[in-house]
A = this chain, B = another copy of it.
Amino acid sequence: MNEPDVPPRRGRKSEISRGQILDAAARMLRRQGYGNTTLRKIAEVAGIQAGSIYYHFASKDEIMDAVLERGVRAVYEAVRDSLAALPPDTPDRRRIEVAVGAHLEALLSHGDYTSTSIRTYGEVPMAFQQKSQPLRDAYVVLWQELLAGAQAAGAIRADLDTHVLRPLLLGSLNWTVEWYDPSQRPVAEIAAQAVDMLFHGVLPTEA
């Protein structure tokens, strides 16, 4: 019904169910949070029986792990790749602009995984916050180097602390998952105004 046109020759239907379980889990996590997401509801959304989940995953935690990791990875790779695709001599301002756009686009257009990895991360047991921690750290480093590099090159004011600038900026972007409404504005418009404010501030240009 919703399989790709070329069904895998040898016995891998399992992948399809596994994907549906993850999709259902990501959607439920995003909407109802960790506390109200039960295996039975996930199974219902995925169209199978609760017990059947255990053929694909060893535990509920393993599902959470998979969803969270996939979310962070999607954002991380989107930003990293969009930066890597730029010509080597791209000015720092442009690189920041691209990174902001890629981050927001991945967050808001790329399904439930990314939103969930932002919204749900703070409320899951520490035990499997740690599983995706290396990726999260790598992502922070990516931004930190981008901003610190820009500052060293003179593209960002020298009197700002990039260790404050970075979380303030990323917080502003991350929080969009709580309020952004696709029916109101395109993502690009949010990104454009965010970059505009970041660069020039909100005060009118004066004498």
A149 to chain B, nearest CB (A): 14
Partner of A204 from the list B154, B165, B197 (CB cut-off 8 Å) is B154
Whether A34 pairs with B165 at a CB distance below 8 angstroms is no
Q: Confirm or deny: A90 has a beta carbon within 8 angstroms of a beta carbon on chain B.
A: no
Q: Is the interface of A mostly helix, strand, loop or mixed?
A: helix
Q: Confirm or deny: A172 has a beta carbon within 8 angstroms of a beta carbon on chain B.
A: yes
- Give A93 to B201 CA distance when docked, in angstroms: 12
- Give A156 to B202 CA distance when docked, in angstroms: 5
With contact pairs A122-B33, A197-B201 given, residues A176 and B172 touching in the complex (Cβ less than 8 Å)? no
Binds B, one of A7-15, A69-77, A188-196: A188-196
Residues on B with beta carbons closer than 8 Å to the beta carbon of A164: 185, 189-190, 193-194
Partner of A35 from the list B36, B185, B199, B202 (CB cut-off 8 Å) is B36
Partner of A203 from the list B156, B179, B204, B205 (CB cut-off 8 Å) is B156
Partner of A123 from the list B34, B179, B190, B194 (CB cut-off 8 Å) is B34
Q: Confirm or deny: A134 has a beta carbon within 8 angstroms of a beta carbon on chain B.
A: no
Partner of A171 from the list B93, B125, B178, B185 (CB cut-off 8 Å) is B178
- For chain A, residues 30 to 80, give those with C-beta under 8 angstroms from any C-beta of chain B: 32-37
Q: Confirm or deny: A157 has a beta carbon within 8 angstroms of a beta carbon on chain B.
A: yes
Partner of A172 from the list B154, B169, B189, B199 (CB cut-off 8 Å) is B169
Whether A201 pairs with B204 at a CB distance below 8 angstroms is no
Q: Identify which of A158, A175, A204 gathers the most chain B CB atoms within 10 Å of its CB.
A: A175
* In the complex, the 5 A-B pairs of residues with the closest C-beta atoms, listed nearest first: A35-B35, A171-B175, A33-B123, A201-B201, A172-B172
10 residue pairs A–B, Cβ–Cβ below 8 Å = A33-B35, A33-B124, A35-B37, A156-B204, A168-B172, A168-B190, A170-B175, A171-B175, A171-B179, A172-B172
